[in-house]
Structure formats: structure tokens, C-alpha cells
Amino acid sequence: MSKNILHQTSWAKSVNGNDIELFSSETKNDSPILFIGGVHGDEPEGVKLAQDLLIWLQKNNTFVNPQALEPWMLIPCLNIDGFMIKQRMNAAGVDLNRNFPSRDWSAAAKSPRYFPGPHPGSEPEVSALVTLIESTKPKLIVHFHSWEPCIVYTGSPGKNAAELIGKDTGYAISEDIGYPTPGSLGQFGWLEKAVPVICIEAQEGADLDSLWPTFGSGLKNLLTKDAREKLEL
Ligand SMILES: [Zn+2]
């Protein structure tokens, strides 16, 4: 069933030395789509959605039929330490989504929950992800969070993909989450690497079993050939 999938059980280590897993199609070096769950440890909806997508990929990953999938990579839970204790930040108290080395990184934080770290890219979870992005050059990054329901893309080339994911979900799609996010993955991906980034904010507190029925169709379309041609990604 799950052929052609690479599984790195310890792709990177967290601050506390826990393993961070990475799954990828064998064609990962061919401009993959990179999916990431668990950037924030207190958002179980994002981890569940990444896990559900992985289950679907494990059942359907193949490169021999006309419905061939896009090359992909998937990190089920980037902030494994925070996830274990239901904390937004990593074990060093850093908001990983403010720690990326983008040109707008700022040492200012509106509250401790958004502490950006001592310097850009200071956290091992972030530096491992930066290295992965630089070495594999993804064409698109999608990360899964939870908050007020919305789908936000950073970088206009991500608009089509965001609309494809959001189709029939009832989620609003926008290019701006409504407040500055210096040092975020979106800012890093687009400003520094010209990779469009999509942030899915699932409804906070949603029934975890409702997430795949909501987003599965759009994510499947994003990954399949027909949709890829429509996207011109
Ligand atoms: Zn989040």
C-alpha cells in the first residue's frame, strides 16, 4: 500500500532532544509541496489534519498511474516538545512562527506567547526546517494551525492553491491574517525564498474528526495531477 514513501524517524531533534519525523515521496527533490503540522503545540487540530493527510498519502501514494501525485514532504508535528505539554511555544519558550530568519524578524513580542527567540533561526526546530527548505526548494508550503477559521496565503502565486484547498469548506481566504507576523514561516518562505506559503487556521476547538471531511477534498485536489494543471504551480 504505502510504497515509495521515505520515513525519517529522527529527521531533526527538538530542544529537549525529542525526534521530529519527516515523511516524503521518493521524488521529494522535484519541487515538492511541503506540509507541516504542529508549529504551535497547543493547536491539536493542526497536528490531526497533518496526520489525516499522511494516512491518505500512505494509502494513495503512487507514481505509476495517471493520477500521479505531486512530490510531497510532510512533518506531522514540528513542535513536538510543545505538543507534549499543550504549549504554543517550544521547550525554550519560543514561538516558532516568529523565529524564522526573515528580513522582518523582530525582537519585540506583544506577549510571552509570541516570544521570537534570542535571534532569528535560534531554535533547532526552525533551523532544521530552514535547511530543508533550502535543500529541497519546495514549490509550496502548507502549514496547519487552529484559530478563527481562515485560509491565509503569503505570496500571490499561492492564491490559486489556497482557493483550491478552501473550495467548499466555507472558510474565508485572504492574503493577510490581519496583523503583522514578523519572522513567521509565511514571511520567511515568501520574502526570502520566493516560496508561497499557505496557513490553514482550522476552527479552534473543532471536533478533530471533522477536519479531514472539511479539508480532505481540497488537499487531495492540490496533490493530484488534474488539479496541478489547473493551478499552474
Ligand atoms: Zn498556530
pLDDT at residue 30 in the model: 79
β pairing state of 197-203 and 140-147: parallel
Distance 58 CA to ligand 1 centre (A): 25
Confidence band, pLDDT 50/70/90 cuts, at residue 66: low
Distance 126 CA to ligand 1 centre (A): 14
How far is the CA of 87 from the CAs of 40, 43, 109, 171, 172, in angstroms? 7, 8, 17, 26, 27
Distance 116 CA to ligand 1 centre (A): 14
Distance 226 CA to ligand 1 centre (A): 30
Q: What is the pTM of this model?
A: 0.95
Distance 71 CA to ligand 1 centre (A): 25
pLDDT at 29 over 70: no
CA distance 202 to 30: 29
β pairing state of 172-174 and 150-154: parallel
Task: Tell which wins on pLDDT, 56 or 66.
Answer: 56
Q: Which three cell numbers stand for residue 130?
A: 530552514
CA distance 126 to 141: 14
Q: What integer is the mean pLDDT of 50-58?
A: 96
What are phi and psi for residue 37, nearest 5 degrees? -110, 160
Q: What is the CA radius of gyration of the chain?
A: 16
Tell me which residues have their CB within 5 A of the ion that is ligand 1: 40, 43, 145
